Amino acid sequence: MSEKIALVTGANRGLGFETARQLAQKDVTVLVACRKLGSAEEAVAKLKSEGLTNLYPIQLDVTSASDRTAAAKQIEKQFGRLDILINNAGIGSADGKGEDLFAKQTIETPEAELEQVFSTNVFSVIFVTRELLPLLKKSPAGRIVNLSSILGSLTLHADPKSPIASIKRFAYDTSKTAINSFTIHLADELKDTNIKVNSAHPGWVKTDMGTSAAPMEIPEGAKTSVDLALIGPDGPNGRFIHLGEELPW
């Protein structure tokens, strides 16, 4: 039971891939979850070429109920439990990209954008967590990390002097606000268990969504998720964290 088993969603590129890499570097067994099994296998092969071990590909389109059920059954059969769930998969807009993430759009937000962003960023996170929670409850120290964003902070959005005051992409921002609410509610529900639940703000990172204009490199962006995945019994629970510092909801 000393070896930790982690599942990272959306792990074939960007923050998810780097999170899988950093966990594997810390001797965690990592299930590299991707929408397509081939993408997961390619990611695992690349990480193993770096000398890393204990990496396993798993197909998990987070929006697919059948994939979620199949993944839970596969993990239960192969490992019997899950210690870490990192809900990393997410999109910035209806087309899954982020180049217009900082364009203001509220009342004219297309219906398709609201539906697709919330389906991936909110509902899928809830449903993946629900499916895998029985396996996390078998862990002596379960950890759930929900990838959020500082753009989900209502406190900062309401402050005209805050650094994000001018950035109001409604669908994406509110999807991350909803994730923060899920974190608070789930942490409270599980407060008498060995499971800790936290929201992670990775920072503005040079990914496809963050674009090349972002100031942070991907390895630094993955650090918050990795740190929260490995916190001890005295670590935070039901909190919104960036690089060890708590953010306002």
Catalytic sites, residue numbers: 172, 176
Nearest to 87 by CA among 115, 127, 43, 117: 127
What's the rounded Cα separation, in Å, for the pair 105 and 181? Answer: 22
Reduce the DSSP state of residue 115 to 3 states and report it: helix
In Å, what is the CA distance from 55 to each residue of 60, 87, 124, 146, 226?
Answer: 15, 17, 23, 21, 16
Q: What is the four-CA torsion angle of 38, 67, 203, 47, rounded to 10 degrees? A: -30
Strand order in the sheet with 84-87: 55-59, 29-34, 5-8, 84-87, 143-147, 196-200, 240-242, 245-246
Residues, the chain: 249
Left, alpha or beta for 203 (phi > 0: left; psi -120 to 50: alpha)?
left
Number of Cβ within 10 Å of residue 113's Cβ equals 20
Say which amino acid occupies 100. Answer: D
What's the rounded Cα separation, in Å, for the pair 143 and 228? Answer: 8
Which helix (H) or strand (E) segment holds residue 83: the answer is none
